[in-house]
Structure 1
């Protein structure tokens, strides 16, 4: 597995070694020891989540606050997404910056998102199955987010605004400048 740090410190891209033959495909999507050695720290994943989305669904930008902050390892099981991470760690040299990349069942790439970052994704195909491991149990009272089209973030979601499908809750998220971090 190749593990590469993104421009957001502590956020990593994981590219598996894939074995293909006439039977199909095999790859290791996560190996705790190799992963922790590569990032130089321990991560204890305690909750796995799966979301299923149709094309145009944008989920995010979400995070958990303070004591309930979550590090995540995200991966696409089926389909393709545009995955976006925003650094919201006070004092970070990349505060307010974002990183994005396409994740799919074809590239089999995962992203590790450390605590202190907001995350969202846009489903680019008709049927997306998105999986993520979390290192803390979800707490609904700690749920927070940033508006997906915050002009300061200047995220190009690579899809026409009229084609995006968002929840009412995500449409009411605050701007980065209004967060109480």
Structure 2
């Protein structure tokens, strides 16, 4: 399993080792021990959500106020999505910067989204199913919504025509307005403990599931 930091400090792309055979394939979706080595703190899922979206649906940019905060571990279990994280932490050296990752079951990639960072995705297929493992349960009234089409963010969604947005997302404030309203967390409050500057490829490789031979830890029966 490979865990690599993105252009947004504290946000990671996780790529599992695949074990293909005549039956299909197998991979580990989440190894909290390896992830926590990188994060420097525990990640304990408290709630798991699924969303199913038709092609062209754009969800986001969403975050959770700090406190209480809410980290996410995002995977795509059916179809494909263009997944985006956005640094919403005021004072961060990468405030307003984004990172794009395409997620699908074939690659098995996942994205870890830390406290204070926004998240969204564009569904590239019909019935695209995204799974979120969350570090905290939902607290009504704490969600932060940012306009995903804000020119200041300049996210390269690659939409084919107008995206399908919820009324809430379509009417969400832009980054500057959200900052002025005091909606966003500060870098000092949520900065990753190992970082004082933008990331330089911090990450780990774990053994996880391995290749051919006799059955090993993590290998499916």
Same fold (TM over 0.5): yes
Structure 1 position 161, deviation (Å) = 3.9
SS of the residue corresponding to residue 25 of structure 2 reads: strand
Q: Secondary structure at the match of 1:121?
A: strand
Aligned residues: 180
Question: In structure 1, the residue corresponding to 2:45 is in which secondary structure?
Answer: coil
Q: Helix, strand or coil for the counterpart of 2:38? A: helix
- What does residue 47 of structure 2 align with? 47
Partner deviation per Cα, 1:108-151 (whole Å, 9 max, x = no partner) = 10010100011100100112110011111111211111001101
1:50 shift after superposition = 0.5
- Superposed structure 1 runs of 4+ greater than 3 Å apart: none
Q: Provide, for residues 135-178 of structure 1, a one-character-per-residue CA deviation record: whole Å limited to 9, x for no partner.
A: 1111121111100110100111111342x111111101001001
Q: TM-score, normalised by structure 1?
A: 0.96
Which residue is equivalent to 1:12?
12
Quick one: distance in 1 between partners of 2:29 and 2:43? Answer: 15
Matched, 1:82 2:82: yes
Using structure 2 for the length normalisation, give the TM-score. 0.79
Which structure 2 residue ranges, 5 or more long, are not aligned?
Answer: 185-221
Following superposition, the deviation at residue 26 of structure 1 comes to 0.8
**Structure 2 CA distance for aligned equivalents of residues 16 and 137 of structure 1:** 26
Q: Answer yes or no: is the 8 Å Cα contact 2:56–2:160 preserved in 1.
A: no
Match of 1:176 in 2: 175
After superposition, the CA RMSD in angstroms is 1.0
Larger Cα-atom Rg: 2
- Please tell me whether residue 111 in structure 1 is matched to residue 111 in structure 2: yes
Give 1 or 2: higher strand fraction. Answer: 1
SS of the residue 1:85 aligns to: strand
